[in-house]
Structure 1
């Protein structure tokens, strides 16, 4: 129990200590009007209360990732807790802060534009395509996941396949409305309540572990890899536990709230703080996986039968009873739904930015949304497990690119770039190694060869970055308007 609360305390301390360091290095300026103040349009640029924005941001970024990922990551043992804590403080929250604040400085632009302004035209075009692909994967994953959970609980006396199809259609219909309606009509009103329910759910499960007398981490807190099937900790754990430590998906969500914050001081609580909140949720579910099940083999057995959704069902119902368990599961269902809708909304905005189609007119919103959802529906026909694996890799790759863009921004503005450069190098090694050794990719090299290539790629990217940094003019008081790229 001590180690669980120590990990939570470290995350909170990270927000107050390292978060302030990141904020000071960025250099917030409350005299600078935010996009919500300068560009209000009643649809996407809408000034809102900072407390409400924090809860919306937390719900936007906290999809299935901080629950399903940490449950799968619990198979590796307590090393998962270390990654969640260190990853959230020094990588994930830094990534989220810069993805949000760069959007604030760049007139609320989506993340491909922010990357392009700092890494060049090719990076922008690559990010346009890559971000839309990731968002479609996210949207589909966050349709199928909750549809399966709902079908298991509320099947309408239909067979499971038909019930899943019905719930998929209902969720898609909701996503469509949330994508085209003004941000304050559904998202601004319901999400703060949903976020509170999410936090209460995570806290309630933690309390019940204590009340029911469970021994936290019964197999000890050593950092050895205890995965029952022998999967290597590096780099698989760092891909598996994505949203609970660092997630490129967050970079697509942060601009939504960057268009709503009233001043730049809101950046640390909204962007850095929401990631810390998600890290705590991830800690809860990783701890549940390692504590509720006495051995990794017991957890693996449940996962083999029904995946992470079965673990959620069993843990919630056992710890909180039928009613409390049902409410907890509803909270878990809300998580992916509340990220899936904003995934499609973000995709709409990225396409709008790329094509210069103004979004004040509902007809123009429909011009983008209708074909977008048609493609999303076709992707649902793919096997869920395949979609999830490609989502995990795409997610971490996007985060890596955003960190490199943040590092270059800091170089251009005469700031200390290491707060973004170090996690960028680390995540480059993770993604490059995974691309080499993961079975779903064609290379599928041996671990010894793949590890060497991953480290070499990270080193090459670091050398390239330092060369570019050395030759990039530094103007301390450079305006943040991006100009042309």
Structure 2
């Protein structure tokens, strides 16, 4: 299969999906109303609720939901063959992921910008609200701790990315100041900021930075501490000072990176050397259902409902912006996931070094993906994408040294964006839980943020001074993340039923996500039990019980509503 046909065909399909199914959902199902005041106006506070230009907010939203998810997921899912991964990315993003993100945002816009977990109390009942908030807290606890490790790992793998990533902070603050204080044109000044970013990348490619051990804490641990301190500061500042402009710059970065990737695909147009289907790779779990929790953000991700209803809805200027930000943002992420699939399944075949030997074609792919153990490591995932992308982009004449820096900064910047946003959302969740438990002091901005960061720090250092303790719970993350998506669909479905609208468009995705996640959780629990990993088994069992409780409560409400409608 020629990779150029694959990339171009995906882009055309997404344009068609946006202008047909996306617009249908906006008009008929969610009934978008351009005249409905948004929370950014009715609840404006200058910190979290801030009316934002649609283009700027799209950048913030997209870079928050993307992170490294659409990179690491497809980069490992290709081990089962590029066809099943591609099918799930396309079907999942169009019919499930984009609906999930768009619907979560609309419901939040109609409910004072509250999170989907908080809204569950109004839609279903107070018990479900508390259960959902607990599941969200656990998921974000993992996200904040793990993404600190992810960024630290990228810094260690690509030290050339360190200087550009940190220099992005003053560049973003300056951009925010010019746009909000001086009414500067965001497009013009965004372009200037990106040029400065690429200047810093050129500097970074010549000035690699490696942090030493400090006070007995290993370099990874030092990075994790620094990143969590940064996350605390960034998540408590008004969004327009750092979070929005940084994400806006990252959106430009994404546009440039995707243009470079497409140009590289167009010039090199390598054939897919990954097998179309490889149902039983050595040591790998079964394709069904593990594929669906591995691709994650490239098709659908529960974390997205937290961004859509946690931060984006608080900044949206108009309900009409929700379709391009919510539905369109997910389709763009799906396109990125396909580009990653091509980089790992085709670009890597253009050349991979094995010691002093240059491997090409299927031999290069087979070496990279020789077994599940070889492919599943964080370094292997990121390395497969960056090596494949570099091979393709270098065909355009851009030096490989610079491309490696650009791709390293791209991955680290997106992970940092997710860390920023996840910490801010965790602060909201802690506040909502504290309010429910009648502890108002902990609901305030700084105490809630301290809890969010401190708990992540404790998890990160639970294994020692390397700061990688969160990785011990990583096997649960994929299933819990997709579980959130199923539960968000549950809330959406009940909300639609209560407002007298057709529920089929969210009911089918809800049933699928709950079923496939439950299947994956049962598989994981059997694995944990067989290996004697009682921590993962205990937490996983608790999550399954909470999920079951929520689904039963939601189903009872749907049955009751259906009876009322038929009487």
2:61 counterpart of 1:57: yes
Which residue number in structure 2 is paired with residue 303 of structure 1?
Answer: 375
Q: 1:75, 1:228 within 8 Å by CA — same for their partners in 2?
A: no
Q: Paired residue for 1:123, among 125, 128, 138?
A: 128
Three-state SS of the structure 2 residue aligned to 1:17 is: helix
Which residue number in structure 1 is paired with residue 410 of structure 2?
Answer: 331
Query: What's the TM-score, normalizing by structure 2?
Result: 0.75
2:523 counterpart of 1:425: no
Closer/same/farther in 2, CA of residues 208 and 226 from structure 1, 3 Å limit: farther
Q: 1:79, 1:225 within 8 Å by CA — same for their partners in 2?
A: no
Give how far 1:35 is off.
0.6
Q: How does 1:68-467 map to 2 (within 5 A)?
A: 68-77=72-81, 78-154=83-159, 155-156=209-210, 158=212, 162-215=218-271, 217-218=272-273, 221=276, 225=279, 227-229=281-283, 231-255=285-309, 256-293=311-348, 294-295=361-362, 297-301=366-370, 303=375, 306-319=379-392, 320=394, 321-356=400-435, 364-381=444-461, 382=463, 383=469, 385-438=471-524, 442=528, 467=559
Return 5+ residue gaps in structure 1 as ranges.
Answer: 446-452, 475-485
Q: 2:64, 2:418 within 8 Å by CA — same for their partners in 1?
A: yes
Closer/same/farther in 2, CA of residues 269 and 370 from structure 1, 3 Å limit: same
Which residue number in structure 2 is paired with residue 16 of structure 1?
Answer: 19
Give how far 1:351 is off.
2.1
Partners of 1:440 and 1:404 in 2: CA distance:
26
Closer/same/farther in 2, CA of residues 364 and 119 from structure 1, 3 Å limit: closer
Closer/same/farther in 2, CA of residues 316 and 213 from structure 1, 3 Å limit: closer
Three-state SS of the structure 1 residue aligned to 2:320 is: helix
Give how far 1:84 is off.
0.4
Partners of 1:350 and 1:159 in 2: CA distance:
34
Q: 2:431, 2:442 within 8 Å by CA — same for their partners in 1?
A: no
Q: 1:84, 1:279 within 8 Å by CA — same for their partners in 2?
A: yes
2:36 counterpart of 1:41: no
Closer/same/farther in 2, CA of residues 434 and 328 from structure 1, 3 Å limit: same
Q: 2:76, 2:376 within 8 Å by CA — same for their partners in 1?
A: no
Partners of 1:289 and 1:106 in 2: CA distance:
42
Task: Judge which range, 382-391 or 229-238, deviates more.
Answer: 382-391
Q: 2:54, 2:321 within 8 Å by CA — same for their partners in 1?
A: yes
Q: 1:228, 1:297 within 8 Å by CA — same for their partners in 2?
A: no
Partners of 1:467 and 1:329 in 2: CA distance:
50
Which residue number in structure 1 is paired with residue 7 of structure 2?
Answer: 4
Q: 1:70, 1:80 within 8 Å by CA — same for their partners in 2?
A: yes
Closer/same/farther in 2, CA of residues 157 and 349 from structure 1, 3 Å limit: closer
Partners of 2:388 and 2:339 in 1: CA distance:
12
Q: 1:69, 1:241 within 8 Å by CA — same for their partners in 2?
A: yes
Q: 1:97, 1:268 within 8 Å by CA — same for their partners in 2?
A: yes
Q: 2:59, 2:248 within 8 Å by CA — same for their partners in 1?
A: yes
> Which structure has the larger Rg?
2
Partners of 2:88 and 2:33 in 1: CA distance:
32
Query: What's the TM-score, normalizing by structure 1?
Result: 0.87
- Residues 136-160 of structure 1: CA distance to partner in whole angstroms, max 9, x if unpaired? 1111111101111112332536379
Closer/same/farther in 2, CA of residues 289 and 473 from structure 1, 3 Å limit: same
Q: CA RMSD in A?
A: 2.8
Q: 1:235, 1:433 within 8 Å by CA — same for their partners in 2?
A: yes
- Residues 133-192 of structure 1: CA distance to partner in whole angstroms, max 9, x if unpaired? 111111111110111111233253637983322322221122111111011110122211
Partners of 1:284 and 1:66 in 2: CA distance:
10
Q: 1:141, 1:387 within 8 Å by CA — same for their partners in 2?
A: no
Q: 1:48, 1:261 within 8 Å by CA — same for their partners in 2?
A: yes
